[in-house]
Amino acid sequence: MKNKNQIVNTHNEWDPLEEIVVGVVEGATIPPWEPVTPAVVHHEHLLDFYRQNGGQPWPQEMLDAAKKDIDEFVHILEAEGVTVRRPSIYDTDKSFSTPDFEIHSSVGALMPRDVLLIIGDQIIEAPMGWRSRFHENHAYKKLCKEYFDKGARWVSAPRPQLSEESYKQNFVPPEEDEPMRTILTEYEPLFDAADVIKCGKDVFVAQSSCCNRTGIYWLQRHLGDTYTVHEVEVFDTHPMHIDATFYPLAPGKLLINPERIKNVPDIFKKSGWDILVCPEPNMPDSHPMYTCSKWLNMNVVMLDEERVIVSKGEDNLIKAFKDWGFKPIECNFYNFESIAGGLHCATVDIRRRGELKSYF
Ligand code: ABU
């Protein structure tokens, strides 16, 4: 299918990148406590941090350090010829309520990857399971309107209610030796856009504490017969998103997290893909990580089939990328990772030069 001159056009993670949205640090607030918090935060000691500090601004020195990282990332993208767009800053410290819940604050616009799912020429606003992120799509409205005016399709998945019925009451995350379970019920479709990863006509999704099976069904029915949505089996005690777990990097090259993927879907094996096992992260244990795990090392951004932007310090992965035939470009990102996510989380690709195909 030809997609000549489409303003929004992405089918995979590796076609040559032309335009991308990069999140902003300004206005970022410590996520307020909500039902999903204990289901996604890996470290028990952080739960008290969220109970006590959720809804406050992050300390200025942490914001400054994160901003320095994101500025460097933007500089690298622009130097490589990519157009970078930014979301609008909105009032994150306003509390709000719906008929079903009240929440103290929003969290900012750090991670466009979670909010907008771009498939082909279509922008899908994700039905996110976080009460604090209910209005995060506002940060992208101006951009979405512009892309819509220039020809993109733009829809919002059903707006979730996020009442008590969406969450299992008294949920306890599983231990390492237990089967995976997540906090979400099947009351309504829920997913973050980062629970989904594209590979042409095949789209891969994993259940998580932000993505339920009803959300996966919704996506398959919405996308129709042109696409096949595959559910990937993962194991994570605090699952959130697929992009530090399972990542088709380039045709024939799948990067997997060895702790979370025990069975690679047959479709990859049958088609002879190389299964690249992500090496252990290098981030020191002393580095503070408030929202994500150290497996953000694999949360990279592909500029094309070879060039990959990777977090500086992740020497094991950088060496592996070279051995696998990629060209890594290093970017300082640990300080952004402390309060938010990785390079992939901090972005959403708007346009890559390529067409819809099957890679299997
Ligand atoms: N997109 C964020 C992934 C978080 C994690 O696996 O730690």
Quote the CA–CA distance of 318 and 100 in Å, as a whole number: 46
Q: How high is the pLDDT of residue 3?
A: 53
Q: Give yes or no for a contact between 195 and 232, defined as CB atoms under 8 angstroms apart.
A: no
Q: Which residues does the chain have with pLDDT short of 70?
A: 1-4
pLDDT tens profile 293-322: 999 999 999 999 999 999 999 999 999 999
pLDDT tens profile 105-119: 999 999 999 999 999
Quote the CA–CA distance of 351 and 37 in Å, as a whole number: 33
Q: How high is the pLDDT of residue 42?
A: 85
Q: How high is the pLDDT of residue 110?
A: 98
- Ligand 1 centroid from CA 2, angstroms: 33
Active site residue 192: yes
- Ligand 1 centroid from CA 159, angstroms: 23
Q: How high is the pLDDT of residue 4?
A: 58
Residue whose Cα lies nearest atom 4 of ligand 1: it is: 292
**Do strands 202-205 and 228-231 pair parallel, antiparallel, or not at all (unpaired)?**
parallel
Query: pTM of the entire structure?
Result: 0.97
122 phi-psi bin (left φ>0, alpha ψ -120 to 50, beta other): beta
Cβ neighbours of 306 (radius 10 Å): 14
Active site residue 241: yes
To test the ligand 1 pocket, which listed residue (42, 292, 314, 338) has its Cβ within 8 A of the most ligand atoms?
292
Q: How high is the pLDDT of residue 44?
A: 84
Active site residue 222: no
Q: Looking at the CA of residue 260, tell me the nearest atom of ligand 1.
A: 6
* Burial (CB count within 10 angstroms: exposed 0-12, middle 13-18, buried 19+), residue 320: middle
Residues at CB less than 6 angstroms from ligand 1? 194, 240-241, 243-244, 292-293, 295-296, 341, 345
Q: How high is the pLDDT of residue 2?
A: 46
Q: How high is the pLDDT of residue 114?
A: 98
User: Would you call 22 helix, strand, or coil by DSSP?
Assistant: strand
Q: What angle do CA 289, 28, 291 make, to 5 degrees?
A: 20
Quote the CA–CA distance of 126 and 117 in Å, as a whole number: 7
